[in-house]
């Protein structure tokens, strides 16, 4: 059952409980099973009713709950379940599946196009396939430029160039790139999120400097989330990044 559609207490009391009560002859060690997808969308009252049902019929019925956010599942249910957490896929795993799909669907692509899709997906296979399909349907050719048009994210090459200027303590050209992205209409959250992603994988930055950059990026991200979403906030970040390398060189 999709618990995001059928999430009320009546569904638990009627359909799920009736199914759990049914007597079925099964081989030894086999049980009936109830699978609830999007269980975190269930109301609290429905979850309380489900907890009671799980307690009463645990000998004959097993319950599997899939959720995007386990924090939205009430504690009594969590304590009765074995928690399995699935991490995001690696870039190599996403790329392998994209290549397989492109081969079977005869998608016209370039290497930089698939790299762009992997970058925008951030380990989410569904997001990667959606971006691949959207780019293919819209342009009939999957390259970096088309992918970022579809996904509408600040281009990582621009951000990489901006960070390189900061590493060289060149504030003016770094600010021009930030101002350009701001003029294109990207929000402060979009820009700072991609700055963090690019900084993590920036191979030209020394490790000590990369760590210091990430620390300052994190502080700015916090300020942006708290409401400081102005170009001045981004300019302040760039100035602090430029000063970091100045201090090290001295």
Q: Report the CATH number at residue 53.
A: 3.40.50.300
pLDDT at 10: 78
Whether residues 138 and 182 share a domain: the answer is: no
Average pLDDT, the chain: 87
**Six-digit token pair at 17?**
């409980």
Identify whether 172 is part of a domain: yes
Contact at 8 Å (CB) between 43 and 9? Answer: yes
CA dihedral 138, 142, 146, 152 (to 10 degrees): 90
Weakest-pLDDT range from 18-27, 118-127, 183-192, 232-241:
18-27
Identify whether 85 is part of a domain: no
Query: What percentage of residues in the chain have a pLDDT greater than 70?
Result: 96
Whether residues 139 and 166 share a domain: the answer is: no
pTM: 0.68
Q: What is the CATH number of the domain that holds 102?
A: 1.10.8.60
Domain boundary among 129, 151, 173: 151
Identify whether 33 is part of a domain: yes
Helix, strand, coil abundance in the chain, percent, nearest 5: 65, 5, 30
pLDDT at 19: 85
Q: Which domain holds residue 224?
A: 156-249
Cα–Cα distances in angstroms (integers) from residue 63 to residues 7, 33, 106, in the given order: 15, 6, 41
144-193 pLDDT, tens per residue? 888 988 888 888 888 999 999 999 989 999 999 999 989 988 888 889 99
Query: What percentage of residues in the chain have a pLDDT greater than 90?
Result: 34
pLDDT of residue 211 exceeding 80, the answer is: yes
pLDDT at 250: 40
Whether residues 167 and 147 share a domain: the answer is: no
Query: Angle at Cα 181 formed by Cα 149 and Cα 165, nearest 5°?
Result: 120
Whether residues 16 and 56 share a domain: the answer is: yes
Identify whether 71 is part of a domain: yes
pLDDT at 246: 63
Whether residues 104 and 185 share a domain: the answer is: no
Q: What is the CATH number of the domain that holds 168?
A: 1.20.272.10
Weakest-pLDDT range from 122-131, 201-210, 216-225, 232-241:
201-210
Whether residues 160 and 240 share a domain: the answer is: yes
CA 158/CA 148 separation, integer angstroms:
12
CA 208/CA 2 separation, integer angstroms:
47
Domain boundary among 23, 53, 79: 79
Our count of domains for the chain comes to 3
Whether residues 96 and 67 share a domain: the answer is: no
Domain boundary among 127, 151, 175: 151
Whether residues 65 and 134 share a domain: the answer is: no
Whether residues 67 and 52 share a domain: the answer is: yes
Please tell me which residue, 102 or 18, carries the higher pLDDT value: 102
CA 70/CA 126 separation, integer angstroms:
20
Average pLDDT over residues 29-55: 87
Give the chain's length: 250
Whether residues 144 and 173 share a domain: the answer is: no
Identify whether 2 is part of a domain: no
pLDDT of residue 131 exceeding 90, the answer is: yes
pLDDT at 217: 92
Instruction: Report the SS3 class of residue 25.
Output: coil
């Amino acid at each position: 059952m999709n618990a995001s559609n059928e999430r009320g207490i009546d569904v638990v009391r009627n359909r799920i409980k009736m199914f759990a009560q049914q007597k079925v002859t099964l081989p030894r060690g086999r049980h009936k099973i109830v699978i609830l997808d999007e269980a975190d969308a269930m109301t609290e009252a429905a979850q309380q009713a489900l907890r009671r049902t799980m307690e009463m019929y645990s000998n004959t019925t097993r319950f599997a709950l899939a959720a995007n956010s386990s924090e939205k599942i009430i504690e009594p249910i969590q304590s009765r379940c074995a928690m399995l957490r699935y991490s995001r896929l690696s870039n190599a795993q996403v790329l392998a599946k994209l290549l397989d799909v492109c081969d079977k669907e005869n998608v016209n692509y370039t290497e930089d196009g698939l790299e762009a899709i992997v970058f925008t997906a951030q380990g989410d296979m569904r997001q990667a396939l959606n971006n691949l399909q959207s780019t293919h349907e819209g342009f009939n050719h999957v390259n970096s430029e088309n992918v970022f048009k579809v996904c509408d994210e600040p281009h990582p090459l621009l951000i990489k160039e901006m960070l390189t200027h900061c590493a060289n303590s060149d504030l003016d050209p770094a600010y021009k790139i930030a101002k350009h992205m701001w003029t294109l209409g990207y929000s402060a959250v979009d820009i700072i999120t991609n700055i963090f992603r690019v900084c993590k994988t920036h191979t030209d930055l020394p490790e000590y400097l990369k760590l210091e950059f990430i620390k300052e990026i994190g502080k700015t991200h916090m300020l942006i989330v708290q409401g400081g979403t102005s170009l001045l906030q981004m300019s302040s970040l760039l100035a602090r990044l430029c000063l970091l390398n100045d201090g090290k060189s001295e």
